[in-house]
Amino acid sequence: MNHSVYDMLNEMDNRPGNGGSFEASPEEVRTWMKEFGRRKRYTDKKRGASGRKSASRRWGIYTAAAAALAFVIVAGGVFTPAGQFVYAGVKAVTYDLSELLGISKDLDPYRTVVGQSVSDHGFTVTLNDVVLDEGRLYISDAVTVPERLESDESLMDYAEDVTVFINGRMVSMAASGGSRRADDYNIVSDWTIEVPDVDTEQELDMEIQYSVNGDKVGSFEFTASGEELALDTLTVPLDETVTLPDGTEVRLTRYTSNAMGQNIYFEKNSGKYSYDLRLEGEDNLGNPVAFFVSFSEKTEGRMEVETIDNGYVSDDAQSLTLTPYAAKMPEESGKMNSDYEQVGEPFTIMISQNS
């Protein structure tokens, strides 16, 4: 049974003293984002968007460490396994997506606000916001669990899986995301799901299936499009080649910038990825800028702007000067080597609309 979160909020008893509250200061939000971004994990491509349970409840794209976006949007009410509506210690707090991402731009034109819940096997999943960008689907959700979460380590007991279908075809390829305990019974999560080879500028019939601990909780069906976001995307063609120490040639093909952030797309001449590539430098105003590999297939991939330390690229910037660095990828331990060495000469990208 689907229930609109807004209908449920209208029915709840939210008189003072009858429910708790969940408050987060801007400093706390920044702390969550920084903590989320520093926890990195590698996921095998064959696992798709499943198998995400980990000690830190932080996940990464299968071939590169991903400093993922940190959405924290909390649902205000849930249904217990017995079907009774309860106010689970959360006072219907919903943080604006742009605030959580540290973006000054208005994301409202690009968001699909689903705001519905599904329940089964003692769990309730509430889907909050969806943003469809080129090759990616951004999702925020909340999971209500039947047993009290005694600590942050309790998140280990609940493995949330998401599978995305577009126009009837399963398209979710890999995922990154993060989770945190909102209160004693609610876990809030964000996902960045790779959906390559999909024309996101068209209106698409979408289905998102949720499972917790292997038990299917339910599905959400709706339509979404990335057309408006695509229209507002600045694209700059690139033709810069970086040769990694293992001989792999990485050709940077284009830079893009829109309300969701900045990206650099690349092609490579081999399927191996034994070195992690970073681009570091500054804009023409002197602000530090860095890009990391967030997604890589056999012959192509994408880099995203590093927001944890430097933030997004300034709207006032007219150019970026970047230098490529590389570090050997871990072969066994999974612990990333931080010894990056310069592997190419600095280059400049003109990013101003008027340049």
The beta strands (E) that lie in 94-214 are given as: 111-120, 123-133, 136-144, 160-166, 169-170, 174-181, 186-194, 204-212
The reply to whether 271 falls in a domain is yes
Please check whether residues 155 and 300 belong to one and the same domain: no
Are 120 and 216 a contacting pair, CB within 8 Å? yes
pLDDT given at position 293: 93
Q: Which helix (H) or strand (E) holds 331?
A: none
3-state class (DSSP) for residue 227: helix
pLDDT given at position 329: 83
Please check whether residues 220 and 329 belong to one and the same domain: no
Q: Indicate if the alpha-carbon torsion angle 80, 84, 89, 92 is positive or negative.
A: positive
The single residue listed with the structure tokens 């660095």 is 325
Beta bridge partners of 194: 136, 174
Task: Please enumerate in sequence order all residues whose Cβ is within 8 A of that of 11, keeping only pairs 6 or more positions apart, or say none.
Answer: 77, 85
pLDDT given at position 112: 84
Span 66-70, average pLDDT: 27
Which range among 224-228, 279-283, 345-349 shows the weakest confidence by mean pLDDT? 224-228
Express each pLDDT in 155-198 by its tens digit: 889 999 999 999 999 988 788 877 888 889 999 888 889 888 88
Span 254-277, average pLDDT: 90
Express each pLDDT in 266-294 by its tens digit: 999 987 778 999 999 999 999 999 999 99
CATH number for position 241: 2.60.40.1640
Span 52-59, average pLDDT: 34
Instruction: Round to whole Å and give the CA distance between 222 and 208.
Output: 9
pLDDT given at position 79: 32
Instruction: Round to whole Å and give the CA distance between 81 and 84.
Output: 8
Last residue of a domain, one of 209, 227, 245: 227
Please check whether residues 280 and 172 belong to one and the same domain: no
Span 238-243, average pLDDT: 96
DSSP 46: G
Strands 261-268 and 300-305, sheet pairing: antiparallel
Last residue of a domain, one of 167, 202, 227: 227
CB count, 10 Å around CB of 308?
17
Distance of CA 306 to the CA centre of its chain: 13
Torsion of CA 254, 196, 344, 311, to 10 degrees: 80
User: What is the domain range of residue 245?
Assistant: 233-350
Last residue of a domain, one of 195, 227, 259: 227
The reply to whether 258 falls in a domain is yes
Tell me what percent of the residues of the chain surpass a pLDDT of 70: 68
Residue 334 pLDDT class (50, 70, 90 cuts): low
pLDDT given at position 99: 54
Highest mean pLDDT among 85-94, 126-135, 254-263: 254-263
Please check whether residues 223 and 321 belong to one and the same domain: no
pLDDT given at position 353: 59
Amino acid at 298: K
Express each pLDDT in 318-327 by its tens digit: 999 999 999 9
Please check whether residues 35 and 10 belong to one and the same domain: yes
pLDDT given at position 102: 60
pTM for the whole structure: 0.70
The single residue listed with the structure tokens 């959400």 is 220
State the total domains in the chain. 2
For residues 228 and 81, the model is more confident at 228
Instruction: Round to whole Å and give the CA distance between 33 and 24.
Output: 12
- Is it the case that residue 73 has pLDDT exceeding 70? no
CA-wise closest residue to 96 among 128, 118, 136, 137: 128
The reply to whether 355 falls in a domain is no
DSSP 154: G
Highest mean pLDDT among 126-130, 172-176, 323-327, 351-355: 323-327
Residue 310 pLDDT class (50, 70, 90 cuts): confident
Please check whether residues 252 and 341 belong to one and the same domain: yes
CA-wise closest residue to 138 among 87, 178, 183: 178
Amino acid at 35: E
